[in-house]
Amino acid sequence: MRVVIAGGHGKIALRLERLLAAGGHQPVGIIRRPDQEADLRAAGAEAVVLDLESASVGEVAAALEGADAAVFAAGAGPGSGADRKDTVDRAAAVLLADAAERAGVRRFLVVSSMGADAGHQGEEVFDVYQRAKGAADDDVRSRPGLDWTILRPGMLTDDAGTGLVRLEARTGRGPVPRDDVAAVLAELLDTPATAGLTLELISGSTPVTVAVKDIAGN
């Protein structure tokens, strides 16, 4: 598969790119800065330099030409203000979805956030973030032209992955290593029967492959 990943230099994205390359796939990372290209090459990924806060739908669709799947793994990141929560965490996800439809790329994965909700209350930056992610998720879920899966991990850690997770519609809160989030994303890409599902993910006791197959069966 050729898989285009928005936010290609992110911590989860780089892990996913390594997994996809090791599995014989063709990861492509959309990045904002040319100085990030070497890191993507080291991960086995092709790099496309494109700023999703200023790019047109046509430019992003061109980056998606020939892809089998798109993954939205971009984020404004810690330390960013409320404005960028909207322009990256919401608007860039909508832009990628628009571009995927234009390019005819149906398979579409979103790395969201546990608790994401367009109606989330509060005025702190994290509250704005949860509303932005929720609004993006709602937009993606409204599109019959996409075979979408939305993944909502719990508290992300840089601990080594265990390969053991809990993946359900509702898991309750908990931590999960970024290694295991990337492993679940790779498995979801290989499991088209998970289209149409919004899933929460935390560490657990079920091997990743089994957890994804089980949820696909439900």
Q: And the tokens for 117?
A: 């909700």
Q: Residue 161: how many CB atoms within 10 A of its CB?
A: 19
Exposed/middle/buried for residue 38 (C-beta within 10 Å: 0-12, 13-18, 19+): exposed
d(CA 85, CA 11): 18
Q: Residue 25: how many CB atoms within 10 A of its CB?
A: 21
d(CA 155, CA 174): 6
d(CA 168, CA 10): 24
Give the relative orientation of helices 11-22 and 178-189 as an angle to the nearest 10 degrees. 50
Paired sense of beta strands 69-72 and 107-111, if any: parallel
Helix H or strand E segment including 31: strand 26-31
Catalytic residue among 3, 18, 89, 129: 129
| Structural contact between residues 163 and 176, judged by C-beta atoms closer than 8 angstroms | no
d(CA 160, CA 75): 22
Asked about 129 being catalytic, the answer comes back as yes
Q: Which residues pair with 16 in a beta bridge?
A: none
Active site residues: 129
